[in-house]
Amino acid sequence: MKKWLIGSIVGAIMVFAWQFLSWGVLDIHSGAFKYHPAQDSIVSHLSATLGEDGSYMFPTVKPGASQKEEEELMEKIKGQPWATVIFHKEYKSNMPLQMTRGFLVDLFLVFSLIYILTRAGTPSAMRIFAASIAIGLFTFLWGPYTAHNWFSLPMEMIKGDLIDAFAAWGLCGIWLGWWLNRR
């Protein structure tokens, strides 16, 4: 169990550190959000018209609309502009809490990976590395890439997530492959 805990803590630190570097220092996610010169007026308009925090899709049907109404709207908006917006009424930055949550999630994920990998004994370092990469790709394909398909996100918006899937989980896999097979 001690080996698992140390492996999990160091692995989580590696994944967390990669996320910090990826978003903060290396600017890998620069294409994820675009600047618009009219941002102040856009946010002001959204603030005046949207009542609550949430994710909005424009246009869409009212809640409880019939299948026929939904199909009519889909036909009507073909070739027309559309948007998704994540709106918050108030900017609140609580970086220590966000970082703590992020690290705890990373710790849980690495611990879960070790648990899954070692159910039938400790696999070779190469299998651990391959499984770690697979976990990274699984999370990318299930999350950002699936969103890409549904919402037609440009690849530049999710490219950083793909790089993170390989880099963070590859580094973690190299560490765990060495650590778990250490005598």
pLDDT in tens, 121-164: 889 999 999 999 999 999 888 887 787 666 677 788 888 999 99
Cβ burial 23-42 (10 Å sphere, 16+ → b, else e): eeeeebbeebeeeeeeeeee
In 3-state terms, what secondary structure has residue 50? coil
What are the structural domain ranges in the chain? 2-35+93-180
Cβ atoms 145, 103 nearer than 8 A: no
**What's the CA gap between 58 and 85, in Å, rounded?**
8
Task: List the beta bridge partners of residue 6.
Answer: none
pTM of the model: 0.80
SS3 content of the chain, % helix, strand, coil (to 5): 65, 5, 25
**What's the CA gap between 171 and 175, in Å, rounded?**
6
1 or 40: which leads in pLDDT: 40
User: Locate tokens 């400790």: which residue?
Assistant: 122
Mean pLDDT is lowest, of 44-48, 91-95, 115-119, 174-178, for 91-95
Which tens digit of pLDDT belongs to each residue from 50-61? 989 998 989 999
pLDDT average, residue stretch 164-182: 95
Mean pLDDT of the chain: 91
